[in-house]
Structures are given as structure tokens and as C-alpha cells.
Structure 1
Amino acid sequence: MQIDTHGIMEHSGIVTAMNNNNLLERTFRMLYFVDLNTSNNFMLALDVTVQTVDGKDRVEFFDTNRGRGFEGKVLVREENGFVFLTESGDVMTFREATVEEFDLVWRRSIEGSVPAFRSDEDLHRWYDSAFAG
């Protein structure tokens, strides 16, 4: 069995960043908005991983309710996300979540108390600790 992680999900596990010329490790998982076909902001995704096993791509993630996994093919890789075509023909677009879009689209549909986020990193950290931590 051959496994290839593509290198496109470096944001999903340990995130690295430069700060004052020192390499820091942040141990939170990135939050993604997922568009499904023509439905924008269909769901949220945490702990996203993409692997290739025996030549077949598989995306796995937690949608704040349960784990999900789909087989198919990565069509496009971008700096802040990727496009995945499932075997059933659905197009899933994973986009790194931003505070601006979260406030505009998601905030009103979240139950309970959600803090005001100052940065995208704050948003990702909160979701990671609230749902995947």
C-alpha cells in the first residue's frame, strides 16, 4: 500500500509560522468552509486530511457533528484550500475560514455563545478547542 499526503494539508495538523525570525509551532487545526457543488458554505470542516492510497485520493474531516470521508480526486490545489471531486460526482471546495465570512454567513446559525474573533487564527483556535479538542 502506497500512501501520499500530497503536502496540501500542511494547515490541518501543526501549523508553522515565522514570528520575529523564530519558527513557531501552533497546535491547532485549521477550519475550512466547504462548498458542495453550487451550494456555498454547505458545511464547516476541521481536521482535514487528504491522502492518496494505492493511487486513489481520500479526504477526511470532522464537520462539527461527526467524521466524514470521501474517495475521489483532488482537482485543484491552492494556497488556502483545494477542490475535490468525489466518486459520486460531487464537487467539494475547501476554503480556509476567515472571520469576515464567518461573521457574514455562519455566526447567526451557531447555537450558544460564540465570542467575537479578532483574527482568523482566533476563529480556528476556538473551533478546534470547542469541537475537535
Structure 2
Amino acid sequence: MATALVAFLGSGGLLTVLGVALMLTAQDVEGLLPLTLSLVSAVWVLIGIAMLCLGFIPRAAAAVAWCALGVGIAGELLVKAGLPDLVYLALSPIAHVSPYYSTAHSWLVLVLVAVVTTATGLFGILRRDLSR
């Protein structure tokens, strides 16, 4: 439980610090803090996927979590290479907070997905028999 809390709060804090640092160093560019803060919900989905894997497939959790991030990044690269935008939207939670693809409530849906995956992962962790 504490690990999930640190992951969620830490990622939000780091993205806030990044946004403030970008605003201070690039003074002619506005809106960098809101841009970095818009990524928080997508990062939380990736944390939720990691927690879900940790709860139900603990031995492969790290590999699957890193693959989830890699697939999202690969989706973005494939779209830049000419594949349809649907590929990026299907593969990456980051696409749903991008200013080009997001809708008015994309962040809310991503937060709900993050909450559900994290809660399910925590349920899996709590029901595991660690004595084996």
C-alpha cells in the first residue's frame, strides 16, 4: 500500500518539479507546467499496470510493466513513421493526454483506470500466500 502511495505521489511531485523547472528555464514558452501535469494521469495508469502485475504475476511484473511503457513509446514512434493514429491511441495511455488526441475528460478516464488497476493489484497482493 505504501509503495503505491509513494509511486503516485512521487510521480506527481516529479512532474510538478519538472514543469516548474521548464517554466523557469524557458521563459518565452508558456504552458509547460500544465503540459507536464497533464501527463500525471497517464503515468498513473502505467503505475496501475505495474501494481496489477505485481499482484497477480509477481515474477514477471517488472518485465510486463516495462513492456507496457515500451509498447506505448513504440506506438508513438510507429505513428510518427506513418501508421494510423489509432495504433498510438490503442497502445499508449500517454496518447490520451496528448493535446492532439485528448478529449475533455480523458484525464478522468485515465485516473479511473489507474484506480481500478491499482486497487485490483493491491487486492492480489493482499491475498497472496507469502509463506510458500
Shorter-chain TM band: under 0.3
Bigger-Rg structure (1/2) = 2
As a proportion of its length, which structure holds more strand? 1
As a proportion of its length, which structure holds more helix? 2
Q: Please give the TM-score of this superposition, normalised by the length of structure 2.
A: 0.28
**Higher relative contact order (Cα pairs below 8 Å, separated by 6+ residues):** 2
